Amino acid sequence: MSMIRDLRAVVRPSRPSLRKDAGTYDTTRDPATPSAVVDCAVYRDGVRVETQKPLSPHEAMRLVRRDGGFVWIGLHEPTEAEFAGIASEFGLHPLAVEDAVQAHQRPKLERYDDSLFTVFKTIHYVDHDALTANSEVVETGEVMCFTGRDFFITVRHGGQGSLRALRRRLQDDPELLTKGPSAVLHAIADHVVDGYIAVADAVQDDIDEVETEVFSPGRKGTPRGTDASRIYQLKREVLEFKRAVTPLLRPMVLLSERPMRLIDPDIQKYFRDVADHLARVHEQVVGFDELLNSILQANLAQASVAQNEDMRKITAWAAIIAVPTMVCGVYGMNFKYMPELHWKYGYPVIMSITVALCLGIHRTLKRNGWL
């Protein structure tokens, strides 16, 4: 156990903030890389084997079979033709190869004869100055992992989720890499789940902002509400987040509890920690979904209340205007014999009575909260 005591510190560095001032991630393939193979290296006794020139997957596997160790190959969005040779060299199952090339898979863990195939959804928080009805809050990618006895292959899809920094951190601690491919699988799982935690914190800020706007006082102390389309857009982004987190629960439980011959027993214990963190993120995301439902319903209720308030005001003013309308209508009929038609004080008296009635109705309606 002393060999992997610092496992968490190595594969889980301090998480940077995902807000605007945190900088950007390394999200693109190295421009100098002419193919889908981003990196290919052999590790023996926890140390990367240095070579005079970059190794091809075939050359790396030949070194492993001759001198031992394991090979770690990283690919970014390979085509079927680019991946066919690697799949043949390492004996990968055709179904797993098809999933790795086509992408857009749900998180899962599949066991084949001599390998494990694991799919992770990576989540990246998209910075935005203000949340709008069209804001993209989270961006997803995928990392597929093939874990064998003497090889580890990662296939990455999407413009984010680079594993270059993670590879460097693992290379700085040879004791971890002596545990073989299972140590790399744990490091990637922990790296992905830590990304979930950071994104969940950032999404929480967006939800708090929307919630504050919905329930903050507006005119006359009543909640002012917000645009329902913004809430709905945020709910859709949370649903995308949920699709990445929820299916991964079962694979993490299997990796942490069920003995597997390709997973080192010492490393397997640390999958429990990843599963615990993933369960906490899942609870957060489910809570986000329920909270946004409540916020959306509250916002719609406020809109309905505001419409009722407007209708009451319109009705109140219509009642006030009805008095002079009625008086003008009566005296506009132009009959010859009408009361007070030729009276000297008829006009001022009628106008005074009209104004008094209007003021009385206005005062009564205002007292009852209609105005």
pLDDT at residue 47 greater than cutoff 70: yes
Query: Which one-letter DSSP state was computed for residue 20?
Result: G
Identify any residues that bridge with 268 across adjacent strands, giving them in sequence order: none
- Residue 226's pLDDT is what? 63
In the chain the first and final C-alpha atoms are separated, in Å, by: 75
pLDDT at residue 224 greater than cutoff 90: no
Rounded average pLDDT over 184-211: 91
Alpha carbon separation from 200 to 101, 237, 280 (Å, rounded): 29, 11, 10
CA–CA separation, 30 and 36 (whole Å)? 10
CA–CA separation, 201 and 190 (whole Å)? 17
Rounded average pLDDT over 112-125: 90
212 near 139, Cβ under 8 Å? no
| pLDDT tens digits along 11-46 | 454 444 443 333 322 333 444 445 688 889 999 998
CA–CA separation, 88 and 97 (whole Å)? 10
Tell me which H or E stretch contains 125: strand 115-125
- Residue 196's pLDDT is what? 93
How much is the pTM?
A: 0.74
Phi and psi torsions of 12, nearest 5°: -130, 75
- Residue 74's pLDDT is what? 92
Other beta carbons within 10 Å of 187? 25
- Residue 251's pLDDT is what? 92
pLDDT at residue 323 greater than cutoff 70: yes
247 near 107, Cβ under 8 Å? yes
Q: Which two tokens stand for residue 207?
A: 């939800």
Rounded average pLDDT over 214-229: 63
Phi and psi torsions of 362, nearest 5°: -60, -45
CA 200 to chain centre: 7
146 near 115, Cβ under 8 Å? yes
